[in-house]
Every structure is written in structure tokens, then in C-alpha cells.
Structure 1
């Protein structure tokens, strides 16, 4: 057990498995103590069938929180022991239902003393403990339903990785990264168009000299993401948020979110009242990001891109 003192809570799953194994071993011994031919993993199915007759596999799975294949396997094992039977539903011949056999029903009476003794033993254990494990499990189950451990770890990873990201203004040394990162994603989903070549090959004259800006995301000093604010000749919209690209090797590190927010703050600092962007409906992660940044769907603006079938705008004022 010293391993858990060194690992701390990151070995929670391993420690819970060990605790579960202890309970499972004891449960097997307890069934033997009461001369009941039952495997611990069968108990949830047995208990449901002891309360209800003629239940489907699906209904059992929903009630005990197992998958249908798992329940089907348990039912087959119990049937092999002669504890359950499967048959066609008398009311609906298309459905198979499960019920306890005569041998299974005999256990219902036999197991009552075991129920009482096990419950008393658990109550005794709880009284000796400083914390109520049963209530804690209920609380943890609720919290994990709201947000899984995987989701929580992923969020923490993003937060930690974000600490290594720096958003910097464009310099000539980033020209190749600006071009290559955009060519990579455009070529993956679409084809390069004339407007792409203008902005990527001539960033100075097409974007910067016209009052636009380019931001570069550095991860540990390496350029892994870019985006541009292109000045629009439109009294209703100040800048187009365009040419946002993130290297596949850096995706999942919150780069797009950081770039988008930096671009929005840059536009605000320039006195912009609104931002516009174009995308395509197949780029679902990108559109989801734009929604999180506050952009709303709009229509009607002319576009130089064949691929653009989705337009959005963000009001800053």
C-alpha cells in the first residue's frame, strides 16, 4: 500500500479496483457461508428479477446501469446454473423476457438472513469509520455524471499546456509558418483559391499595409497557430477574422481559443465595433469555437471563396 502514498490521488482508479477486489472476494466467501450458489457479479440481475417477473435484457441493463451485452452474458451464466429462464413474452411474442427459475426463486427465501447480516455488518463498518463511504459514493457518482474524470483531466491538460503558449505579433520570420499552417488545413478539406494565395504569399501588402494584423501562437517558442485581422472596407464591419490555423500536433492545447480571444482583444484595442468571419459547415470544431467566442450566424455578404458557405459576426460595442 506504500505505492499509494507515493502516487497520491492520481492512482484513485487502481486503489478503488483493489478495494472492489476485496469486497468481491469477501462476497464470494459470504455466499459460501450461507450455502448460496451465486457469483457476486450476478447479484444486481438476481435482485431485479427477485422484485419483478418477466423482465427484458434491456430493462435490466437500464435498471442496473450495465451494458446489454454484459447483462446478456450474466443471464447466460445464470441460466447455465439453472437460476433463470428466458422465454417469449406472452403479451408480445417479439420480445424475450427473463425470469427466475424455481431454483432461483428458492434463493429469494434463503438469502434473507444473509441480507440482514450483511446490512448489519456494513452499518457496523460505517459506524467505525470517520467518513460515510456510501454517501460519498452517491455524491461522486452524481458529480461524475455532470463531468467525467476524463473531461476534468482534459481541461486541466489544456490549462497546463496553455501556460506554455504565447501570442505574439507577426514578424517576417513567421511568414513561412503563416503560409504553411494555412495551406495545410485548407488543402486537407478544400482546394487553395486565388484569395488564399494573395493573403498568404503577400501578407504585408494584402493584410498589414492595409491596416490589418496577424497574430502568431508560439508553443514553447515554436509557431503552431496563426490568425489574421483583415481590415474591411465596410462601414458596418471593421475587421474580418481570417486565416486562423492551428498545427495538428498542437490541437487540443487550447490554441484556437487563445488565438481567437487575443484577436478579439486586439480588435477592441483598435476601436473596432464588430468582427466578421467566413467558414464552412463541415468545419464543426471551428464553428463551435466561434460560437464560444461569441460569434453569431449572419447571411448575405459577398465572398471571394468558393468554400465559404457559413458567415458569422461578433458585435464588440
Structure 2
């Protein structure tokens, strides 16, 4: 005969857990609440801890031991009361978590300090960078600013000469070093530059002007002289560079010298591409290497070569073909 069970002791087994009868935590049995939206299987929530069980909990349960203050402190360590992310603890000073001793601190500071080789390489790198910047500034000054300044100075000198000529102001027969007295025209190269006495860099050439060999042992004739060689020099690069492209001149190209009273027209006859800077015979009254054999009225243009160096000299020679008073107007070479 099967024994009867009381109605209160209904078996409520669920998986491995049994709910029914007196609970280990109290007299009332725990039943999981019914989900209003679904009746699918689910793991029931853990039973609440009754007040009679106290605040202590085993370390395995994960609940902090102690009272309310201990629980708050543990909650702050886990991320605060509101579930924020836990703050990371500051790194320990030493491998074992203890503060470093003075000897250990000095040793680590010495290890962090750059070695002499690293410091030397940094210093050398800074020197190279500074040197590169200075060289770039110097090149910019030489190739750009000197031209800007020289063009302004040469243009001012040419305008001053033309104003003096227009006003009837007479120029002296002998010119002081650095004094302008004529204007050079090279139509093929679109060159218009004042001619000043002397070939000094500071007084003449660096100002963008063309210099006349008119002093000392290198003194040459003037355009109005009935015989002789009118010698001129100018920069090929930087400082206005009036003679930069005279290597492009060919036989028959015109070179005109404008003075207060006359225009002197020369025609290019020959060129010496390379010669020594000490070859002053190119300025002789009958210049050597020019092809001229008898005295005449010649012009010699001299400049440096190759470009951006002063190792050699480039020479261009011409012969006067026309002397035209200003009262008759400009020569054909300047009108075309």
C-alpha cells in the first residue's frame, strides 16, 4: 500500500535543485517567480539572504565580510556604488611592490639617462640641421636677393643718367671710380645696364652695373676714342648678372653703347669660351685671340665661366660699325 503525502509537501524539484519543505535559510520554501512574458526554461535567481543569517559570508561566495562599511569599501574598489570601471592601481615602485632604495633609484635613473654616444649623435644632427638652414639662407641671398637689390640700384643709376642728359647737365670728361657715364644695350639678350668707371665689385659690379677697365695697368680706351679697345666686365651670376647669357651671342649681333652725345654700335665678331683670369692680353688695343690684326675701334666683354664659378673667363669681341649722334635718333639696332 502506497503511503499518502500531505498536500503541503508537494515536490517542486527542478533540475538538480529541489524546492519544497523547510529551507536551510528559513522556514519558508523559495519558489522562482513566474515570468509574465515567457515560460521558457531559465535558471532561477539565487534565494535572498535572510536578515537572521547575519552579514558574514564565506570568502568563496564573493560577498565581503564585515558590516555595511566593509561592503561599501569593497564596492568602491570594484568600481564605486554605481558600477563604474574600477580605477587601476598605481604601478609599484619595485618588482616586489616595495619602494626603491636610493641605490636602486640611482641605478634606474642612470639607465634612463642617454649614453654619451646618443648625446653626441643628437648634437651632430643639430649641427647638420643648423648648417643646412644657414646654407639655404645663403644660397637664397646670393641667387635671389642680390639680384633684386642690384636691379634696383642699376635701374636707379640708369634713370639718373637719362635725367641728367635730358636736362642738359654736362658730364665731365674724366669719371671718378664708381661714377656712371654710359648705358650698355644688348638687344638680343634684352640687356640694358649702366656703365660705370672701374671694375670694383663693391663700387660697381655688385650694384648690377657694367664696369669699364679704366684704371691702372688694365686701362682701356673710351668709345669716343678714334682707336683703341673699350673693355667691359660684369657679373654672369648674382648681383644683377648683366652678362649671364653673353655666351649666346654670335657673329653679327649688335652691342650698343649709349652716351650723353652719341650712340656707338658694335657688331660681335668672335668669342673665346675659356681663358685664364690672368690673360690680360684680351684687353690689348689689338686683342690677342680676337682675330683682329690692325688697330681699330673694338669692344671686349669679359665675365666668369663656368656659371656660378670664377675659375675661368669668357671673352666676347666686337668691332664698331656705326657712330651716331643722339640728335639723329636711335640706331636701327635699338629700333628693330
- TM-score computed with the length of structure 1 as normaliser: 0.26
Q: Answer with 1 or 2: which has the greater Rg.
A: 2
- TM-score computed with the length of structure 2 as normaliser: 0.24
